[in-house]
Amino acid sequence: MGNTKSSALSKELLEELKSNTKYSEPELCTWYQSFLKECPSGKISKQQFEGIYASFFPDADPTAYARHVFRSFDTNADGTLDFKEYIVALHLTSGGKTLQKLEWAFALYDVDGNGTISKNEIQEIVKSTHNLLPSIFNMIPADDQKNLPDDENTPEKRAEKIWKFFGKKENDKISEGEFIQGVMDNKEILRLIQYDEPQKIKDKLKEKKQ
């Protein structure tokens, strides 16, 4: 019913997305129908993407963060995401493989796209995500919410703590290799760039859906 060539995923793309994401064939087909309904052109604009993030965080303003996420996935810089880019974005931001996720995280923090991260870029991303903390914390048990240390309770403090963990001076830069190795070697950095225990957040979201 309505499953014409233009409204059905190609077999090649379906197989590629099944192999590279956590989503099943029925899930991908459902996502695709919803995607086409919202974006008949087969492309999603930055504004539409920001609207989707807004629905995830109704009690916060995720616009700045959504803009950075969109930039990190708009690989050809044409101002839109196609279905493949969109699904990969959803997959990685909700828990892809560690290396994939860290490569994406580096792209997210590399605001100017020059292949290195500066302290200012870390501050920019941390500030954009700080607005989401109230909504994220709504999904985390109250006892865990009380454990945010004094040196992490503002965007500036959090960025400073990340920078110190990398052992960098004020005007130093972090390469992609250094970033990935540093995060893999230090779980505190991973926690700081992802906020509190992503698995708990994912579990809470699953509970809400059931």
What's the whole-model pTM score? 0.71
State pLDDT tens for residues 161-210. 999 999 999 999 999 999 999 988 888 887 787 644 444 444 444 454 44
The CATH number of domain 13-96, selected from 3.40.50.970, 1.10.238.10, 3.40.50.300, 3.40.605.10:
1.10.238.10
Which CATH fold topology does 97-209 show? Recoverin; domain 1 (1.10.238)
Backbone φ/ψ region at 126: left (φ over 0), alpha (ψ -120 to 50), beta: alpha
Question: Which segments of the chain belong to CATH 1.10.238.10?
Answer: 13-96, 97-209
CB-CB neighbours of 42 under 10 Å: 12
Q: Helices 176-185 and 98-109, interaxial angle, to 10°?
A: 130
State pLDDT tens for residues 41-100. 899 899 988 887 777 777 777 888 888 888 988 877 889 999 998 888 777 766 667 788
